[in-house]
Structure 1
Amino acid sequence: MELRSGRRLRRSPPPPPHGASSSRRGPGGGADLISALPDEMLLLVLVRLRCVRAAVQTSLLSRRWRDVWTGLTDLSFRYLEPATIEAVLGRLAAASTPVSTIDVRLHRRETAYHANLLLRAAARLSPREMVFIVPSSNMGGVVGMIELPCFNRTASIELDTQRLHVHVGPPPAGEFTLLERLSLSGNNIDLSGLRNCCPRLSMLSVTSESSITLPPDNAYPALESLFLTGEIFGLDSLLHCCQLLRVLSVTYLYSQQLTLGPAGEFLALEKLSLDGNIVNLGDILKRYPRLRVLSATFRGVEPCSIEAALLSLEGAVALGLVLSLIGIHIQRSGGGHTTSMPIDSSPFCAGWRDYRHKRSSSLTSYTETSLPTCCASTMQPQS
């Protein structure tokens, strides 16, 4: 019999007849019934430990348990020393063990050097799912660069480096052949080199405290869902050939103007979320004939531009568009006054103009967060 990993199932010899002596004794002098189980049952015991270190240490129990842990397919490393993690991954790679999941959470004190070392070790196993978390370091002035190597058999990668920079360059050999989901979080994330390497990528999520540099067009022909948060560069070029895109969420930071290219339609797009300095929303809506759900949050946009956008939305709502969220954030010179209010999805244009007229003499700053669209029929300030 074979395990899912392809290894032959190793069976223990049958237990001795009743009354005969047994060479395997438990701690109380009785027969060691657990060690008499087949490998697959012992692996179930190791899985319940939920700790790779504890699973490896079972090799010390007896020769029967030695190397049984190398048959584990789901590996979780929680705050272990990098040298320990690297040794375990290296042992599994040497044994050609197929691995389904690798989940690594490092200590805060670990550096980009250790992270890159472990990522290269994990890439040699190329699990189906890879999760790699590097918590924020307390070393405020230290800047590190994370290099994502090629995982040619991995379908899902989640890499969260928080304050470390992330660079995904062209793999030295091969492609991310089976990669379908890629989630990156960090600081100054550069994807410019990841072009024509992910033929199956359908979901891309990138969150950065600063800049995101996207690859040029034709990078992800199968992309269906795109989630971006940061100071984004290259979005128009990337979207140019993403004709299968169904879900798009874009949050621009640092008052960067949010525009989506002048040409072409997205015939498949159904859900759109925009957050930032939104420019020409009416023109944007014309490019999405199948759009069903919209979320829009205006930040740093002039009131007259907001009014024009709301008029466009009012017409789109009349044609069946569902507004899941409308948010308005306006900061004016002088500051000192903040007001929030709910609005209705139909008469919100008139309500917005009425509110601006009533507050024009004293309003210096207006901020609205997480604004629901079906709370009231007119705009009323909340105290």
Structure 2
Amino acid sequence: MINVTKSFLPPFEEYQDKIKGIWESTWLTNNGPLVQELEARLKEYLGVKNLLFVTNGTIALQLAIKALHLQGEIITTPFSYCATTTSILWENVKPVFVDIEADTYNIDADLIEQAITDKTTAIMATHVYGRPCNVEKIEQIARKYNLKVIYDGAHSFGATYKGNSVLSYGDVATCSFHATKVFHTVEGGCVICKDDELLKVLAHYRSFGHKNDDYYMMGINAKNSEFHAAMGLVNLPHVADIIEKRKIVSEKYNELLNWDKLKQPRHNIEGFVYNYAYYPIMLPSEQKLLEVTAALKKEDIVPRRYFYPSLNQLPYLDFYTPCPVSERLSVAALSLPLYYDLALEDAERIAKIVNSTL
């Protein structure tokens, strides 16, 4: 079976060697030496000032909302994974959906200003498929209205914009290190910020709100373990090779797919270097998506509807905001299998099935 993704695993000996020290120290969690080492290595790799390793990318969003003391309304995107919206709801804040650009699938920055009310406290946007939002326009709007900016960068590890990590923008950026991502720690994520005082608050929130016997605030348990950090430390040196191999597979798809009948999000953004986190295609209709999906599954090939449904249509929302572009694209967007050791012969076979079904 060929799944939409496959987790990279380093040579077993590398991981085994990294975790030997855990048996010697019996330090399993609670900000252990491997967690601290991983945070230092990630800050260096990403070129960011402050970073905390946490249990997952959703918790990272919740920590950001809580630490920035956000209330009222947060302007956000309807085209993302459900965790983007759910994290806002979980923190008892209302998501206000702004439609997306038809060419990038990112939030349409030109529509943000008209959605701002006296209850708006922040903008939370997703760098969809790892491609950066219009960060300049969003920052300009945020400054004008004194709003905070959070970027859900779950897909953005290893992607750069104008020489900087895509994760370096915003008041807070978050990333997922889930096993399906370009870089993973099995389960995990990080929260990134520029402000040192905000980092202290995030660190307290991550660890129940206290340090030793000193209690500072209400917190939760968002700490991650030494075993997860060890996986991150052995995976990090492989990231460049992982991205290069994903690029080769993506270029094979680019070469073979029928672009007279398919579209992709615009990727020729000036100053942007992609990490090949996904390989999305936009089908002519939902019916064609279902036909292509069925044809692939018949051959034990499993694509994925990233991202469906449009989040403004989630069944547990008690309100509806029309987002026609997101609603139209979400039913037709399909991600094809893409991972580091997907054989080019399999990519050719997948492309052939897609083309013949179209």
TM-score range, shorter chain: under 0.3
Greater strand content:
1
Scaled by the length of structure 2, the TM-score of the pair is: 0.24
Greater helix content:
2
* Structure number with bigger Rg: 1
